[in-house]
Amino acid sequence: MTTTTSQFGIKEALAQLGVKDINEGTSTGLHHFANGEILESFSPVDGKLIGSVKMSTSQDYEKAILSATAAFKTFRLMPAPQRGEIVRQFGEKLRQNKEALGKLVSYEMGKSLQEGYGEVQEMIDICDFAVGLSRQLHGLTMHSERPGHRMYEQYHPMGVVGIISAFNFPVAVWAWNTALAWICGDVCIWKPSEKTPLCGIACQNIIAEVIKENNLPEGISCLINGDYKLGELMTSDTRIPLISATGSTRMGKIVAQAVAARLGKSLLELGGNNAIIVTPDADIKMTVIGAVFGAVGTAGQRCTSTRRLIIHESVFEKVKDAIVSAYKQLKIGNPLDENNHVGPLIDTDAVKMYSAALDKVVEEGGTILVEGGVLTGEGYESGCYVKPAIALAQNSFEIVQHETFAPVLYLIKYSGDVDNALEYQNGVGQGLSSAIMTNNLREAERFLSVVGSDCGIANVNIGTSGAEIGGAFGGEKDTGGGRESGSDAWKIYMRRQTNTINYTTSLPLAQGIKFDLQ
């Protein structure tokens, strides 16, 4: 490695994961196609260069797609439970590499070490889920209206799944997609975020071992590293029937149009603008923990981060004081040091967006309740550490309507009943995660009812941030409408076929239509 740090065992983690700098030769993983320009990965933790890797060219992309397409021809023939066994082995390798991969996630992306480990745990969990699912890719059987006919539906794999992922979950989102796609019989091409290319290589190295040990075609898992231009190659390519894209709403709108123009399928997981409603019946202690973790965890860089607290006027002062006082206890610093609560933003561009949001909320008439600011000096050399801030705001402010990917929390006051809070809650473009803090059954059920939250995720007495893999994950409106992970999310990775079999000697037509030939 040209420049790196040995702190917290990062050097050892990279060695264990087989992630090499270009000056040390190529990384061990199979099917990492990269012969282009150099991409440097700097850590937001200390600003140091972790390593330089090569980006993939359009020729590399072509090799990847050919390899994936060829691999699909054999992989689709493997029985689903046997594909589940491959995913089981992958989960085992992730367990063995949890510490190393978790550290790399933390160092390259900047989230806390606990969250880095948690992200790898999420990969392990989805593998376990997918293994069981590999024996449950059920279709329905129906009663035919025609005598002597049998009708059922079955699911076949789609082919090549293109995965485009965001920086903030540099490994888990790939696993959510691949674990399901693989048991469904699909093969995958992954373009990780250009901000976290080393996490991509590490993951590819882990699955490459499993593929090699099982003598399977390498193209089952392909990695290409690079920026949006590679993503554009994928979205316009008719050889990729399904594009799963995670990132900003801006990106999702471009991807959706490109994929739809060729009548492909897309699975979109885009931005959120998540709120917690705090009613007069809320447990204030639970509210404070949920809100603070939701707003400052991962330095506000989760798609499910809490951005808005919609508080009833009768408890507003109490909740505000409790949260402002909790913010005083926050320790900001190196996320690999478990004493710290808040790590850095991903880069200095993100810092600029954070600062601009704070200026804008004041410009629009908001009041700063907890001052923000960029931290400098020892431990903050990367220039990416900011103070979590709180502002009193109106839901209608332009900046409040916008997802700022940073620890900025807006407090919004409501009066009257929970419907007024719901109007604010739903009154934004995005529809990912939502929560209500209340001990009042009527309010909770109203929040969950058809006139309640319009989000893909609606929680009672839990914050907005984070989710378990067992449920389908995703959101509505500007969040893109996609569902990943648990429940029946696997269906998007397969094509459905309805089969009708006639076991008689006559050919009756549906709807009683008569068509007789002499």
Residue 507 to residues 144, 152, 499, 514, Cα–Cα distance (Å): 13, 18, 16, 10
Min CB(227)–ligand NAD separation in Å: 5
Which listed residue (1, 166, 309, 311) binds ligand NAD by CB under 6 A?
A: 166
Exposure class string for 340-373: b at 16+ Cβ within 10 A, else e = bbbbbbbbeebbeebbebbebbeeeebeebbebe
The closest alpha carbon to 170, from 111, 232, 219, 86, belongs to 111
Local structure of 313: helix, strand or coil: coil
Min CB(363)–ligand NAD separation in Å: 23
Q: Which of 269, 403, 443, 484 is catalytic?
A: 269
Q: Which helix (H) or strand (E) holds 250?
A: helix 249-261
Min CB(488)–ligand NAD separation in Å: 17
Q: Which is nearer to ligand NAD, 186 or 194 (CB)?
A: 194
Min CB(269)–ligand NAD separation in Å: 3
> Is there binding between residue 303 and ligand NAD (CB under 6 A)?
yes
Min CB(359)–ligand NAD separation in Å: 21
> Is there binding between residue 224 and ligand NAD (CB under 6 A)?
no
Contacts (Cβ under 8 Å, ≥6 apart) of 114: 338
Amino acid present at 340: N
Q: Which helix (H) or strand (E) holds 316?
A: helix 316-328
Which listed residue (56, 134, 235, 298) binds ligand NAD by CB under 6 A?
A: 235
> Is there binding between residue 424 and ligand NAD (CB under 6 A)?
no
Q: Which is nearer to ligand NAD, 295 or 444 (CB)?
A: 295
> Is there binding between residue 405 and ligand NAD (CB under 6 A)?
yes
Residue number of the CB closest to ligand NAD reads 231
Q: Which is nearer to ligand NAD, 68 or 457 (CB)?
A: 457
Exposure class string for 434-445: b at 16+ Cβ within 10 A, else e = bbbbbeeeebbe
Q: Which is nearer to ligand NAD, 257 or 325 (CB)?
A: 257
Place of tokens 């190196």: 334
**Residue 178 tokens, joined:** 């691949």
Query: DSSP code of 504?
Result: S
Q: Which is nearer to ligand NAD, 205 or 274 (CB)?
A: 274
Angle at 430 between CA 425 and CA 431, to 5 degrees: 65
Q: Which is nearer to ligand NAD, 430 or 438 (CB)?
A: 430
> Is there binding between residue 432 and ligand NAD (CB under 6 A)?
yes
Binders of ligand NAD in range 247-286 (CB under 6 A): 247-248, 251, 254-255, 269-272
Residues touching ligand NAD: how many (CB under 6 A)?
A: 29
Q: Which helix (H) or strand (E) holds 426?
A: helix 418-426
Rounded Cα–Cα distance for residues 157 and 168 (Å) = 29
Q: Which is nearer to ligand NAD, 8 or 228 (CB)?
A: 228
> Is there binding between residue 169 and ligand NAD (CB under 6 A)?
yes
Which region, judged by CB under 6 A, interacts with ligand NAD, from 139-147, 158-166, 394-402, 441-449?
A: 158-166
Angle at which helices 284-296 and 316-328 cross, to 10° = 50
Which listed residue (108, 122, 186, 194) binds ligand NAD by CB under 6 A?
A: 194
> Is there binding between residue 366 and ligand NAD (CB under 6 A)?
no
> Is there binding between residue 228 and ligand NAD (CB under 6 A)?
yes
DSSP sequence for 27-70:
-S-TTEE--SSEEEEE-TTT--EEEEEEPP-HHHHHHHHHHHHH
Which region, judged by CB under 6 A, interacts with ligand NAD, from 34-42, 109-117, 245-253, 285-293?
A: 245-253
Contacts (Cβ under 8 Å, ≥6 apart) of 209: 93
Min CB(193)–ligand NAD separation in Å: 4
Which region, judged by CB under 6 A, interacts with ligand NAD, from 40-48, 91-99, 229-237, 322-330?
A: 229-237
Which listed residue (122, 237, 403, 443) binds ligand NAD by CB under 6 A?
A: 403
> Is there binding between residue 231 and ligand NAD (CB under 6 A)?
yes
| E-assigned strand segments in 127-253 | 141-142, 149-157, 160-164, 187-191, 221-224, 242-246
Q: How many residues in total does the chain contain?
A: 518
Active site includes 24?
no
Q: Which is nearer to ligand NAD, 369 or 458 (CB)?
A: 458
Local structure of 101: helix, strand or coil: helix
Which listed residue (85, 209, 232, 337) binds ligand NAD by CB under 6 A?
A: 232
Min CB(171)–ligand NAD separation in Å: 12
Min CB(208)–ligand NAD separation in Å: 21
Min CB(428)–ligand NAD separation in Å: 13
Query: DSSP code of 9?
Result: G
In degrees and rounded to multiples of 5, residue 296 shows phi and psi of -110, -15
Q: Catalog residues that contact ligand NAD under the rule CB under 6 A.
A: 164-169, 191, 193-194, 227-228, 231-232, 235, 246-248, 251, 254-255, 269-272, 303, 403, 405, 432, 479
Positions marked catalytic: 269
